[in-house]
Each structure stands twice: as structure tokens, then as C-alpha cells.
Amino acid sequence: MGWQRPDGRQPQELRSHRFQRHFTQFALGSVLAQAGQTQVLCTVSLKEGVPKFLEGTGQGWLTAEYRMLPSATRPRQEREFLKLSGRTQEIQRLIGRSLRSALDLSLLGERTLIVDADVLQADAGTRSLAITGGYIALVDALSALLQQGVLSESPLCHQVAAVSVGLIDGEPYLDLSYAEDVAASVDFNVVMTANGQFIEVQGTAEMGSFDRPTLDRLLDVASQGIQELIEIQQHVLAASHE
Amino acid sequence: MGWQRPDGRQPQELRSHRFQRHFTQFALGSVLAQAGQTQVLCTVSLKEGVPKFLEGTGQGWLTAEYRMLPSATRPRQEREFLKLSGRTQEIQRLIGRSLRSALDLSLLGERTLIVDADVLQADAGTRSLAITGGYIALVDALSALLQQGVLSESPLCHQVAAVSVGLIDGEPYLDLSYAEDVAASVDFNVVMTANGQFIEVQGTAEMGSFDRPTLDRLLDVASQGIQELIEIQQHVLAASHE
Amino acid sequence: MGWQRPDGRQPQELRSHRFQRHFTQFALGSVLAQAGQTQVLCTVSLKEGVPKFLEGTGQGWLTAEYRMLPSATRPRQEREFLKLSGRTQEIQRLIGRSLRSALDLSLLGERTLIVDADVLQADAGTRSLAITGGYIALVDALSALLQQGVLSESPLCHQVAAVSVGLIDGEPYLDLSYAEDVAASVDFNVVMTANGQFIEVQGTAEMGSFDRPTLDRLLDVASQGIQELIEIQQHVLAASHE
Amino acid sequence: MGWQRPDGRQPQELRSHRFQRHFTQFALGSVLAQAGQTQVLCTVSLKEGVPKFLEGTGQGWLTAEYRMLPSATRPRQEREFLKLSGRTQEIQRLIGRSLRSALDLSLLGERTLIVDADVLQADAGTRSLAITGGYIALVDALSALLQQGVLSESPLCHQVAAVSVGLIDGEPYLDLSYAEDVAASVDFNVVMTANGQFIEVQGTAEMGSFDRPTLDRLLDVASQGIQELIEIQQHVLAASHE
Amino acid sequence: MGWQRPDGRQPQELRSHRFQRHFTQFALGSVLAQAGQTQVLCTVSLKEGVPKFLEGTGQGWLTAEYRMLPSATRPRQEREFLKLSGRTQEIQRLIGRSLRSALDLSLLGERTLIVDADVLQADAGTRSLAITGGYIALVDALSALLQQGVLSESPLCHQVAAVSVGLIDGEPYLDLSYAEDVAASVDFNVVMTANGQFIEVQGTAEMGSFDRPTLDRLLDVASQGIQELIEIQQHVLAASHE
Amino acid sequence: MGWQRPDGRQPQELRSHRFQRHFTQFALGSVLAQAGQTQVLCTVSLKEGVPKFLEGTGQGWLTAEYRMLPSATRPRQEREFLKLSGRTQEIQRLIGRSLRSALDLSLLGERTLIVDADVLQADAGTRSLAITGGYIALVDALSALLQQGVLSESPLCHQVAAVSVGLIDGEPYLDLSYAEDVAASVDFNVVMTANGQFIEVQGTAEMGSFDRPTLDRLLDVASQGIQELIEIQQHVLAASHE
């Protein structure tokens, strides 16, 4: 018998997920994503132009900003102001890379999509929820751009979702809450596409180390969790308006 | 016949206001405040200690942080990083002063209440909505502190609310939306208590100037609007939970 | 019998004001403004170009910088270096707005006037003295630009001055010194034109609150004080050279 | 027949590695690490005290700083000043985590080991070389601390090394140079111990995505490369002095 | 026949110098120093404590801050914010070193004297004028501290003054104005005591280079100029008040 | 009998100097300069364009950056990150001025040479070693630019070197180590050309002051030391490759 999850979930069970589309009105896409107590507001905006290294290539770009509201955690955390922590930068780079892999950037023209992932409440798993929810906001944003005639063809080419999985007492547990995250000796964040391909694998031993068979089991659990999230995304996007 | 308001309101009519209490769970008080399209998430946290100038006095403090999410406006605005704009600093100082006037700080002990006002969507009036909604979050936070036994007596001594009023075509209009704000030649922000006393009056001629009778009429309209908001606050707080 | 002013002034009496024109030679206008112990060096410079939002409009701009020398106060204060305090930003925005209201910016062309208000000694009232003295430096700067042929028509359209008034023991006192400012429960800063119109009204209850009749009396005292300053400005400017 | 490596290496062949111990004299450990054209100066210093979250626990800490000299790349790159790039922060966090896993921090006392990894020349693979070379400098530093009597027992408990592996034309290539890195569609950085356990796995699809069998092959090649590096480290450390 | 000075001075003639003592009232010493068109406000303040490296030694310290008002030059210069230029840092370090050499710091106790040199108008020679005028403000500050009983014995042990000298057309010219400074190929700044000892010699070839005999002549002219300034300082300080 | 040097050198004897050319490969010139225990990596790079004040003049520029690795000193020193110390800025300005004097910048075209002087180990004399070693790297860089056809004529016109000299117990000592530097009451840094002309003289009394005859003796010792360094530079550069 293994470790008991605080909320009674099975080891390979996701938290309850909810995605409120069109949560705000001024961005092209706006989704309030919730996974248990974790809440991330994902919005997508467009600006003309691309970073220096893409100028003149005709290709577009997607970049992400990730930030926590100070009251997202208990106790309250100071806003990052004069510099971003390494953690924040790693996360926003990961979100950007992951959502770029959903797009054929050559169909975007020299424009930049900006994904803002603002964490309203943090109970672990914010980076993977930002990717999974950000994907939905991205789909809404691209629909708007097609409708507005800014784009004539959708650059969307892959559906992506992400999940965390951790090792507690030698066993893999899916979609950790904060209390579980603290107990885990190994943390994995995995990003995959709807057709089962990997985009990103990040695994870290916080304590000790892990062998190859353990790595394999962690990836199995992550893969299965992501496929469930892929279905949830499809279900949410099938609704005409939320 | 005067100017027609885009949303069909009467000149002295407030926008529809909504205050969702307990919007997030980790802060002591958390209110999603909405006035028309404007949305401000107001949360209240506590930290031990006070600013330098109060150390050893036994008195508490309240401070406010105000920030806009980048997608709160159309077009998207860059986050303030490295330095706060003068506008942001003015607003967070105003929110702090206004909500401090609701409290007897000597009953707080050497603790600091932090009001975070994060604008999720900005259609003008964010500073007055942050004060009016922040007051509700403050009441919830103080209740929690009394219940937790951190405080034995409530420091709450005044109910405060705020509103904007502007001069368009020589006539006062209450609670301007963004489109109206742009058209106004004079802007007033007024903060008052439930018993009709002024806490703050800030009036600025954006174009031209204004005479004393006009100033008097603007204050009349603001006073009446604030009394309505005071009643809405009381109604929201009377509900057992939201 | 009311409160006795430390320097023996009547409640509605200004401090002794002195304005030394052409205090330095390299700026277009340069005035050392003194009100009692308060000393502000106000200089006006011109630079080509306007802020982004005005480019291509043919209209000019005026902006202000306000700063205190470290030895302006007792004890010495650190220079603001990595960031400006909220107080400093509020003041320089106020100075800028107030002096812009003196000008028809469309007659300036796409140029920016910069008003530097450097406080050499601070005994309260620095922001209103910066406006009142800055107006004189501005007049000198515009004369120089007309003489140099940079401008063919003066953009000057209003004479403006500013003053502070505070409530001590329930009574209004004009043009507070630092010792008085500390004692006041309500502070007003008022900016007006020579023909009695308001540009800006900023009133704050530092302690308690204030009712409408008190607000009216404070504005009466401020208005009368500003009319005296308007006369002093005219007298100073009538002198051919200082 | 696969892709030809610019320097004629076999797909699973490391670059020539060289580690000059005691390259400078003032740090506790100092190793100039070279892998082909890549050169990283790894030094280890000690300071008293630990980060806030460890104070009072009796446990030590290890932290890393990673920086490139401006002339390490062609063309010259600006120094990072005012803020570190996300890339730099990711790398220095990875180096710190990896080398902490080599230590039993409870044997260090409340002291912090600082690993400085300064890249003198960058031809890809700097982060893994910093870990592999940093390990050698760490061993030398701990020997010095034991000899000086600062430590009575060595906190060293695992030998660690790191390597990169990339996917080019669908095949894994070990220890990429810069020209190869640019050509790779998938990049893995792997950190392991001498007994074949994983510390960190970071795999990113720069273009496209990768399936599970490919992931397995990449990890196989990385594991074998790390075991070779482990032997080189042992050989270098067996020499009495360099 | 040599080069003609724009203001008709002889090659070895100082500009007209004027030192207004007690220019402001809140600092311990305050001198408005003028040399021709150059104006520097030199104030001296005291704060308790010393830099880290002197704590516990019983010895005091003196530090200097040097800054230009933006309108001190034509055209206006931006304020230094976020970082000080190398020039500013060099100058304030020079002022600090020079005035420290006037004191026996062991008689100051663990206190820090702060010399603020704020340039109101810059027509070259600001650093040497800041030293020469700062010395006078320092004497006034020490008198005040003795009178207030903060110090029981004066730490003053040397009288110091400074001057610039430049090489134009191969000939030395004393106390250059801005127009002359631009024309000079070699610039020297020299700091000396009343008894003819050197504190600092800084000579730089802006164009070309200079031989040993030229160096000797430049130092001769500087030495003679400093002796005149020493006399002016004594004369100014002999006046009971200004 | 005077003071005994820790390493047994004669008072006017240089430390052992070594210059490894082509230490790294990606910069145009790269020299690892060593003087006793002091090690400075000097590299020279080129970038197109010149600072604002030279645009359109057809003339080039040379600028220097000086920085210490954190482990260059015992104990380790923090990296300069948010701001450069005054010392660092003075040194890099000195290196830049000194090496510019070696060049006819009009032959460089509108390009900027960047000299990076990174101190790997600091046992005093880093600034003069950076100049002396930087000169060699500069010669190599210019040769490369001639060979590449970027330049058609060499802008090199003077050979420059630098040395420090200090006063200990009233006697001059050449090329001080750190232990000696601490003991010296007067420090001189002198930069000269191969034909005995001065570029820069910087002399500072750290304690006390110095008279004219002492100044003369210090310059004599420095001049002789620089002539020896000039010969060493020529010898190193005469070797075909290191």
C-alpha cells in the first residue's frame, strides 16, 4: 500500500480541471484555467514585429510571460520587480517553447503572439496548467485573427498539453498539489502533442537520484495524464462559447 | 440636451457593480470587483512588522500595491518592471491613504495590512473601484483575523468608498468609462466615508480650467454616487458568503 | 483665539517671497525662488522633439523634473537614484500639468520644454513654489526663444501660480512651513490662473476627515493667496532684469 | 550512412577533454576545463553562512555562478549586466543542483560552497563541461578544507558528470560542438553519477518533436558518454598535482 | 606670442573666485563656490557610523558626492540615474580623498562627514573648485560640531586646495574655462596643502603625449595657483560670517 | 638599508612577466598576461560603428572593459552586477585612454576596437598589466584585420606600456605586489611610449603627502621600468607565434 493523497485521488488521477474561456474581453484569447486550487489566467495578444533574429524572414514568433500575483501563495510573496527569479525565467521560457511547437510560425507573418500566464492562485503545477490552458487561449486567439482577417490560414499544427509527475516513496504520482510536491524526491514536467510525441522532458532529482526503470515509469504516467488533458481541451474547445 | 453616454446611462448613474467575495482562498480577504467592464482583484494580506518610522509605537500600518495585468488594456501594455510609472505610484498611494482612513491603526498592533489591487481589465475607474472593492476585502480580512484570534478588537472605524466624476461638455458625468474619460475636460476622484465626510479630493483640468460653481457641482454628483456605493458595499457584506 | 504661527504670520498671510531671475546663465530661464526658508532653483530648457504620442501632430510638450539636493533637509536625505519615490513623481507630474496649462502647445511646434525644479532648501511648500517660480522662468525662456527667432509667436496663454493651505485646529492657514505642515490635519495644494479659474485641486485628510463647509473655506483662502502670488509674479516680471 | 561530424569524430565519441588543476592559486579549487575548443574556468570558494531557508539547520549549501567572458564567442557578446538572461540563470541553477547532489550537505556545517564557472571560450557544451570540471575543482576544494582543518569529514558522497547529446538527421550524436548544436533538432543534457543513477534529464525539441524510442536511444548514448567522463575525472584526480 | 585667453587673463592667472558661506541653513557647512562662470554648491553633513571596513576602529570617515544639475551645461544634460558615469565616480572619489587628507580621522570618532558638491553651472574646473570650496564648507562644519559639543577637538590638520592646468600650443595655462579645456592637449589636476606638499597629481594627454620638462612646467604653474587659492581660502574664512 | 621585498626583488626590479599570445581563438587578439601571481586575460574584438560623438567623422574608437573574476582575490569577491564600482570605471577608462594613444584612429574607419581585460588572478598591478598586455593583443588584432583585408593600413603609431611604482618607507619600489601595495603611502601609475613620452601620470598619497623631489624620484623609477617592459613586448611580438 502506498502513500495516501491528501485529496483522496488515485496515484494516476488528475485534479479536477476547469477552463473558463473569454474570462476577460480585451485580449484575443483569455482563459481562466483551474486545476484543483491552482488558478492561472492565460491571455493571448498580438503585436506587430518579431525579435531581431527573425526580422526579414517572414516568420512569426510566440513568447510567454509568467508571473504570480503576490497573494497567489500563502504567505504572500513579493512581486518580482527589479529582476526575475531564475524559476520565473525558466518557466516562461518553457511555456514559450511549448506553445511555439503548436504552430507553424511561417504562417503567422512577422508578428508576435504574447501569452501572459498570470497565476491567481498557486497550489503547484502552474507551469503545466499555463501550457495546457494557454493552448486553449491560443486557439481562441487564432480564431479571432482569422475572423478579423488578420490571418488567412491558421498557423495551428499541433495540439499540446503538459503535466507534472513526481516520485513519492518510490512510486509515481500524477499532477501533484503543493503538499505533494514538497514530499516528492523526483519531479518531472512533460509536454506532449495529441499524437503522443514529446516536446519537452524535464526531470530533476530533488533528493537522491533515480534509475532508468523509474524514469520509464514516470514517463508512462505522464503520457497517460497528458492524453486525458488533450481530451479535456478538445471538449472545452468544442463548446461554442465556454 | 447633453452628451449621450455610450451605454445609455443617465449622467449621474453608476455602472453596474458586482463584488465576488472569497474569489481566491489563500489571502485573508479576496474580492473580484467589477464595474461595467472594469475588473479589479482586491486581496488583503497581513505581515508582521511596520515601516521604520512606526517601529516601537505599537501602531500598525496599511499599504497598497496597484498593478495592471498586461492584457487588461487594448492594446496590451508592457508590465511595469524596474520602475513604476508615476501614475501607478500615485494610485497605490491614494488607495493606501484611503483605506488607512477606515482604520484605527493603534488597534492593529505592529502589523502591516497589504492591499493588492490587480487590474484584470481596465475600462477606467480602476483606482476608485480598487478602493471601494478593497474596503470589502479589508472587512473580510479583519473578520478572519478576529476569528483566528490574531486581533481581539476590530480596528475598523469608517466605511469608505470612492468614485470618479468628469466634466463633459460642461456637465458632470458619474463613474466614467474609458471612452468617456477620454472625452472629459476635467477629472475628479473623490473618496468619502459613510457619514459624508471627505477623505480625498483630487481634481484636474486635463484641458482648459474650471470655475468654482463647476467644482461645486462635480462634488455634489460625486457625493451622491459614493452614498450609493456605500449601500452596495453594505448589501454585499450582509450576505453570509458572497 | 487660534493657533500661533511660529513666525508670527497671520493665518492668511504668505511667507516672504523672492524670485531671482537669471540666477544661472546656460538655461533659457533660471529663477532662484524663495518662500521663507524654502529655496527652489527653477530652470527651463528646450529640446527638439516630443514624446511618442505627440509625434507628427505638430504640437509641443512641457515636462518637469523635481528633485531635492541631499542637504536641502535636516537631517540630510539620500539622493533618489535607482528609483524615484512616489512623492517625487507625483510632484513632478503636478508641476508639468500645471505649467502646461499656461501654454498653447500648438504654438510651440514639435519641441519639448523641460522645467527643472531643484530644491536647494526645503521648508515645505516646495511643489507650489516650483510652479509659481517655474512660471517666471518659463516666461523668461519663451522671451529668449522669441528673441532667438526659434519661436515667432509666444505660446503663453495663462498666468498660473500655486499655493498650499492646511487645516490646523479646524482653521485654514496659508502657505505652511514645515513645522506647520506637520501639525495640519488636512493639506490642500491648489493651482489657479490669473483670472480665478482652477487648474488643480488636491486635498488630503492626513488625519480624520473634513466636511463640505471646511473644504469651501480652504479653497477661499487658497484662492486669495494665489491672487497675491499672481501680483508678485507680475511685479517681478515687470523689472527689466531681475 | 549518416551525417559527417566536422571534426571527424564517431557519433558516440567525446571531444578531447583536458582538465588543468590548480590553474589559479587563490581559490580552494581551480580547474581550467577544456572539451575541444570549449574552455571553462571552474573555481570553488567557501563563505561562512547559508541562505535564509537553511539558517539554524546545521546544514550547508552549494551555489553556482555561470558567466561567459565577452570574447568567448564569435562575434563578441555583451556582458550580462543589470539582469541575467534566462539561459544563464537556467544554467547556473542546473550546475548548482547537479553539484549539490554530489555532497552530503549536513557534513558541511552552515557554510556555502560557491562554484564559479567562467567560460573563456564557448564552442557548445559549456554547461555540462562546467559540471564535469566543477566536480574536479570541488574535490580539490574539499581536500583543501580537510587539510586546513575546516572540515573534519568529507561531505563528498557521489561522483557526478554531465554530457550533451543531440539528434541530427534522426540519429544521436554525443558531445556536440557549436556547429553541430545548430544542426540538431533535439537537445538533451544529462547529469549522472558514477553508479549510473540519473540526477537530471533535460530534453527539448528545438524543431519538431520526438517519440519514445528516440528518447531511449538518446539516453543510452548519454549514459555511455558520462561513464567515460567519470573515468577521465578519476584519472585526472589520481595525479598528485595536475 | 602665445594663445590669447577668451577672457583676457594672463596664462598663469586664476579666474575670479568667490565663496558665499552659509548659502543654505540646514547643512553644517554650506558654500556657494564660484570661479568665473562655474558655480558649485558645497555642503557638509554628518551621519553617525562609518563604512564596514572601519567599524570598531574608533576612526571616522569623509565621503563625497558630486553631481551636476541638468541645466548646468549648455545644452541641458540628463541627470545620472540608475548608474553614475565613470567621470562622476572618478571626481567624487577624488574630492573624497583630497578632503580626507585635510583631517585626522581618528579625532572624528565613528562618524562620517558627507560632502555634497552640486554643480549649478559648469564652465570647467568643477572638480578642483569642489575641493577648494568644499574645504571652506568643511571648516565651517567642524566649527559647528565643536560649538555643538559633538566634537571636543578639531580633526582639521591640513589646509588643501586644488587647481587645473592645461597645455595649449605647448604652453601651460592655469584654471581653464570650458572653451580652453577643449583646446588643451594635456590636462592636469593637482591637489596640494598649504605647506606645498602634493596630495594628488593627475595628468592626462588628451592628444599626443608630453615630455618630462613639460610635466615639470605644468606642476610649477599648478603649485603657484594653489598657493593663491590657499590665501583666498584664508581670507574668506577670516571674515566672521561670509 | 631599506625595506625587504617579500619575493626578494631589488627595489627597481620588475616581477617576472609572461605573455601567452593566442590564448583563446575567437577574438582577434588574445593574450594571457602574467606578472608574478597577477594574471589578466586581454582580448581584442572589433565591432562596426562608433560612439555617437564620432558618427560621420570617419574616425574610429577604442574602448576597454575591465572586470575581475570573483575568485581572482582571496577572499572571493562578488561580481559587479548592478553597477560598476568607481575603481572599475576609473581603470577601464585609463586602459581605454592609454591604448587609444597607441593608434591613429583616423586609419581605423568608423569601427570600434574593444579591449576586454578580465583579471583571472589579482596580486596588484592589474591595470598596468592590462595596458602592457593589452598592447600586445592589440598588435595581434590589427595584424589579423590587415590580413583579413578589413584594414589596408595599420593604425598603430606608438608602442605603449604601463607600470606602478609606490613609496614605502620614503623609497620608491617598482611594480608592487598586493602585500607591498598595502604598505605603500604613495601610489603612482604611469603610462609611457617607447620613445619616453608620458601618456598618463596618476599619483595619489594614500597616507600623508609627498614633496616635489619625491615625485621626481618616483617618475624616474617608473620610466626605467616602462623601458624594460617595452623591450619585453618587442621580444614577445618578435616570436612568430607565441
pLDDT of res. D101: 95
Q: Does residue D74 sit at the F interface (CB-CB below 8 Å)? A: yes
Q: Does residue B202 sit at the C interface (CB-CB below 8 Å)? A: yes
pLDDT of res. D241: 53
Q: For residue D114, list chain F residues with Cβ-Cβ distance below 8 A.
A: 70, 76
Cα–Cα distances (Å) from B170 to A92, B180, D7, in that order, read 49, 13, 80
pLDDT of res. E148: 96
User: Mean pLDDT, to the nearest integer, of A206-220?
Assistant: 93
- Chain D residue with the nearest C-alpha to that of A202: D202
Using DSSP's 3-state secondary structure scheme, residue F163 falls into strand
Q: Which residue in F111, F128, F121, F127 sits closest to F44, CA to CA?
A: F111
Q: Is the pLDDT of residue A241 over 70?
A: no
Q: For residue C24, list chain E residues with Cβ-Cβ distance below 8 A.
A: 39, 71-72, 120-121
Cis peptide before B6 (omega within 30 of 0): no
Residue of E37, E45, E82 with shortest CB distance to C25: E37
User: Mean pLDDT, to the nearest integer, of E170-184?
Assistant: 95
Which residues of chain F have a pLDDT value below 70? 1, 240-242
Task: Find which of E48, E65, E69 to mutate to test the C interface (most C CBs within 10 Å of its CB).
Answer: E69
Q: For residue B126, list chain A residues with Cβ-Cβ distance below 8 A.
A: none
Q: Does residue F219 sit at the E interface (CB-CB below 8 Å)? A: yes
Domains of chain D by residue range: 17-239
**Portion 112-151 of F in contact with E at CB < 8 A:** none
Q: Does residue F90 sit at the E interface (CB-CB below 8 Å)? A: yes
Q: Is the pLDDT of residue C227 over 50?
A: yes
What does the alpha-carbon distance between residue B150 and residue B182 come to, in Å, rounded to a whole number?
Answer: 46
* Residues annotated in a binding site of C for phosphate: 87, 125-127
CA distance E25 to chain F (A): 31
Are residues C76 and E39, on separate chains, in Cβ contact within 8 Å? Answer: no
**Portion 148-177 of A in contact with D at CB < 8 A:** 158
Question: Residues A35-44: pLDDT tens digits?
Answer: 999 999 999 9
Are residues D201 and A198, on separate chains, in Cβ contact within 8 Å? Answer: no
Q: Is the pLDDT of residue D2 over 80?
A: no
Burial class (CB in 10 A: 0-12, 13-18, 19+), F175: buried
pLDDT of res. B162: 98
Look-up of cell digits 532684469:
C241
Neighbours of chain A (3+ CB pairs under 8 A): B, D
User: Mean pLDDT, to the nearest integer, of A51-58?
Assistant: 95
Q: For residue E223, list chain F residues with Cβ-Cβ distance below 8 A.
A: 212
Are residues A200 and D197, on separate chains, in Cβ contact within 8 Å? Answer: no
* Residues annotated in a binding site of C: 87, 125-127
Q: For the beta carbon of residue D236, count every other beta carbon within 10 angstroms.
A: 19
Question: Residues E67-118: pLDDT tens digits?
Answer: 999 999 999 999 988 788 889 999 999 999 999 999 999 999 999 999 999 9
Task: Find which of C66, C71, C78 to mutate to test the E interface (most E CBs within 10 Å of its CB).
Answer: C71
- Chain B residue with the nearest C-alpha to that of A48: B75
Q: Does residue E104 sit at the F interface (CB-CB below 8 Å)? A: no
pLDDT of res. F241: 53
Are residues E198 and F219, on separate chains, in Cβ contact within 8 Å? Answer: no
Bridge-partner residues for B46, per DSSP?
A: B113
* Interface present between D and C (3 or more CB pairs within 8 Å): no
Task: Count A/D contacts: CB-CB distance under 8 Å.
Answer: 88
Residue of D45, D47, D71 with shortest CB distance to F116: D71
Q: For residue E193, list chain F residues with Cβ-Cβ distance below 8 A.
A: 209
Structurally, at CATH architecture level, domain C17-239 sits in 2-Layer Sandwich (3.30)
Q: For residue C92, list chain E residues with Cβ-Cβ distance below 8 A.
A: none
Q: Edge to edge, what strands does the sheet with C38-48 contain? A: C17-21, C29-35, C38-48, C111-121, C61-68
List per-residue pLDDT tens for chain B, 242 residues long.
577 999 999 999 999 999 999 999 999 999 999 999 999 999 999 999 999 999 999 999 999 999 999 999 999 999 988 788 889 999 999 999 999 999 999 999 999 999 999 999 999 999 999 999 999 999 999 999 999 999 999 999 999 999 999 999 999 999 999 999 999 999 999 999 999 999 999 999 988 899 999 999 999 999 999 999 999 999 999 986 54
Q: Which residue in D39, D9, D6, D12 sits closest to D227, CA to CA?
A: D12
The dihedral through the CA atoms of E171, E175, E179, E181 has a sign that is positive
Task: Count E/F contacts: CB-CB distance under 8 Å.
Answer: 90
pLDDT of res. C242: 42
What does the alpha-carbon distance between residue F32 and residue F40 come to, in Å, rounded to a whole number?
Answer: 6
Confidence at E242, pLDDT banded by 50, 70, 90: very low
DSSP assignments along D73-84, one per residue? SSS--PPP-SS-
Question: Residues F59-82: pLDDT tens digits?
Answer: 999 999 999 999 999 999 999 887
pLDDT of res. D81: 83
pLDDT of res. F242: 42
Torsion of CA D104, D109, D110, D116, to 10 degrees: -60
Q: Is the pLDDT of residue C167 over 50?
A: yes
Tell me: is residue A132 an annotated ligand-binding position.
no
Look-up of cell digits 517671497:
C17
Burial class (CB in 10 A: 0-12, 13-18, 19+), C19: buried
Are residues E212 and F203, on separate chains, in Cβ contact within 8 Å? Answer: no
Are residues E92 and F84, on separate chains, in Cβ contact within 8 Å? Answer: no
Cα–Cα distances (Å) from F221 to D56, F173, F186, in that order, read 55, 8, 14
pLDDT of res. C1: 53
What does the alpha-carbon distance between residue B30 and residue A205 come to, in Å, rounded to a whole number?
Answer: 36
Q: Does residue D82 sit at the F interface (CB-CB below 8 Å)? A: yes
User: Mean pLDDT, to the nearest integer, of C161-189?
Assistant: 95
Are residues E45 and C70, on separate chains, in Cβ contact within 8 Å? Answer: yes
Confidence at A242, pLDDT banded by 50, 70, 90: very low
Q: Is the pLDDT of residue D52 over 50?
A: yes
CA distance E36 to chain C (A): 12
Q: Does residue A41 sit at the B interface (CB-CB below 8 Å)? A: yes
- Chain E residue with the nearest C-alpha to that of F101: E208
Q: For residue D198, list chain A residues with Cβ-Cβ distance below 8 A.
A: 203, 205, 209-212, 215
Q: For the beta carbon of residue C93, count every other beta carbon within 10 angstroms.
A: 19
Q: How crowded is the C-beta side of A107, counted as CA atoms within 13 Å? A: 14
Residue of B39, B75, B82 with shortest CB distance to A82: B82
Confidence at E147, pLDDT banded by 50, 70, 90: very high
Are residues B86 and C93, on separate chains, in Cβ contact within 8 Å? Answer: yes
Cis peptide before A75 (omega within 30 of 0): yes
Q: Is the pLDDT of residue A200 over 60?
A: yes
User: Does the pTM exceed 0.90?
Assistant: no
Q: For residue A215, list chain D residues with Cβ-Cβ distance below 8 A.
A: 198, 201, 219
Q: What crossing angle do the helices spanning C86-100 and B86-100 adopt, rounded to 10°? A: 110
Question: Residues D15-35: pLDDT tens digits?
Answer: 999 999 999 999 999 999 999
Question: Residues D165-214: pLDDT tens digits?
Answer: 999 999 999 999 999 999 999 999 999 999 999 999 999 998 889 999 99
Residue of C89, C199, C208 with shortest CB distance to B89: C89
Q: Residue E47 in contact with residue E112, Cβ under 8 Å?
A: yes
Tell me: is residue A125 an annotated ligand-binding position.
yes
Q: Which residue in A92, A97, A112 sits closest to A51, CA to CA?
A: A112
